[in-house]
């Protein structure tokens, strides 16, 4: 997790297919990716729970937009544009709504994603 947070890390895609990480693993992964400045694609095994109340998805939502303060929102992750579950490309149909919205914002407005999140 510290390696991927490093400013010198240039990992752009992370494929974790075939690795059922579960809800706890998803939480740990979210904390590790919160500060990533280069990752834009994360591919997970299709066994991941995608319910909006899943603790793992709540952690990812915080990693993408930490609303605890304006500064925390600004420092949230703004580079991840795609999550794929089990190779599925239609992330909007699978992912919790808030996460899909943040990913679209990252993809459509990469230079202004932080500002847009603060104004949401």
Residue 2, pLDDT score: 66
Residue 113 tokens read as 């994603």
With vertex at residue 69, the alpha carbon angle to CA 52 and CA 9, rounded to the nearest 5 degrees, is 75
Do 98 and 63 meet the contact criterion of CB atoms below 8 Å apart? no
Closest by Cα among 75, 2, 88 to 45: 88
- Each residue's pLDDT tens digit in the chain (120 positions)? 567 777 788 889 998 888 878 788 888 889 888 888 899 999 887 767 666 568 888 999 999 999 999 999 999 999 999 988 876 666 666 788 999 999 999 999 999 999 999 998
Closest by Cα among 94, 114, 112, 106 to 43: 94
112 CB-near residues (< 8 Å, 6+ apart): none
Residue 116, pLDDT score: 94
């Amino acid at each position: 997790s510290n390696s991927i947070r490093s400013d010198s890390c240039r990992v752009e895609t992370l494929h974790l297919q075939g690795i059922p990480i579960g809800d706890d693993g998803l939480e740990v992964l979210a904390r590790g990716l919160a500060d990533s400045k280069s990752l834009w694609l994360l591919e997970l095994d299709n066994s991941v729970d995608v319910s909006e109340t899943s603790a793992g998805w709540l952690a990812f939502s915080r990693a993408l937009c930490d609303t605890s303060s304006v500064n925390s929102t600004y420092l949230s992750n703004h580079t991840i544009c795609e999550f794929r579950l089990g190779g599925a490309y239609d992330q909007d149909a699978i992912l919790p709504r808030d996460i899909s919205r943040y990913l679209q914002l990252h993809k459509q407005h990469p230079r202004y994603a932080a500002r847009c999140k603060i104004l949401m």
